[in-house]
Amino acid sequence: MLVAAAAVCRQGDTIMKSTERHMLPRSTALGMTVTAALTVMVAAAVPAQGLPIFIGQQQDGVNGGAITMFTGPQNSPYGTFIHTNNSLVANPEELPLTPSVPLLSSDTINVSVIPGTLVVWMTVTGNLGANLPLGTQAFESSFRQNLLPTGWTVQVDTFLDPADGIFTTAIPLSSHLFRASDPTFDQIARADPGSGLYSVTARFTISANGVVGSTTTSADIASFATKTV
């Protein structure tokens, strides 16, 4: 259930004209950085113009546990996480259409000093199923994780929705649980996006155990018109 009607990014809007990854600040005297922010960058590929992009945050005890649409301000706390800072771009000219079509590219940096679990949702809507051959297609999810504090975990899941929904989980694509720093995960799954508009969603579930620190995780989704599994 969404509790805010405002969209993060309207069609054609560019909030941040860059796909450069954010770097974490140097460690503080606590031994871990506590001034970094939750940063999300999403880029969508589309033939002519930017697609609508949405970011949501969710934690038990905040807004009744419902997903809250992020509308700013930057560097605000959310629940038990001390900073949330969301930046995004809809910049299809930097992601040219090829047999491998980038649909979503996302990064999240999360900072916490007490136990708690934060869920970050990212959706790109308005992808055209008609851009690909009819029937099931190959969708590759690529996850990267680093700087995971001891005892923290990050679960990353990706989804496709032929109904073009926001933060929906209609067709699971890939899933992976990170328990250590610097691992990578890549998986190709087949799904039918339909012949109309469809959405793709990445969901990050970050669980902190009270160890002071921050973690960086990325998820990319691409489709392949010719790739087989």
List per-residue pLDDT tens for the chain, 229 residues long: 454 433 343 333 333 333 333 333 333 333 333 333 332 333 333 333 468 889 999 999 999 999 999 887 777 889 999 987 666 654 343 444 455 677 888 888 889 999 999 999 999 998 887 555 567 889 999 999 988 999 999 999 999 999 999 999 999 999 999 998 778 999 999 999 988 889 999 999 999 999 999 988 889 888 875 455 5
**Residue 35 is assigned to a structural domain of this protein:** no
Amino acid present at 179:
R
Place of tokens 């990014």: 9
Asked whether residue 93 is assigned to any structural domain, the reply reads yes
Q: Which domain holds residue 191?
A: 53-224
Q: Give strand pairing partners of 184.
A: 144
- 142, part of any domain: yes
In a domain, 47, yes or no: no
Q: Which of 117, 127, 124, 97 is nearest to 224 (CA)?
A: 97
* Predicted local confidence at residue 18, as pLDDT: 31
* pLDDT of res. 137: 87
Which three-class secondary structure string do you get for 75-125? CEEECCEEEECCCCCCCHHHCCCCCEEEEEEEEEEEEECCEEEEEEEEEEE
The count of structural domains within the chain is: 1
pLDDT of residue 116: 96
217 and 152 in contact (C-beta within 8 Å)? no
**Coil vs helix vs strand at 196:** coil
pLDDT of residue 85: 67
Encoded amino acid at 82, one letter: I
Dig out the tokens for 142 from the structure: 């690529």
Say if 5 falls within a structural domain: no
CATH assignment at residue 100:
2.60.120
pLDDT number for residue 229: 52
Scan for tokens 């796909």, then name that residue.
19
Question: Taking the CB of residue 118, how many other CB atoms lie within 10 A of it?
Answer: 24
Asked whether residue 39 is assigned to any structural domain, the reply reads no
What pLDDT, on the 0 to 100 scale, is given for residue 147? 86
What does the DSSP assignment read for 179-211? -SSS-EEEEEEEE---SSEEEEEEEEEEEEES-
**Distance between CA 213 and CA 136 in Å, rounded?**
41
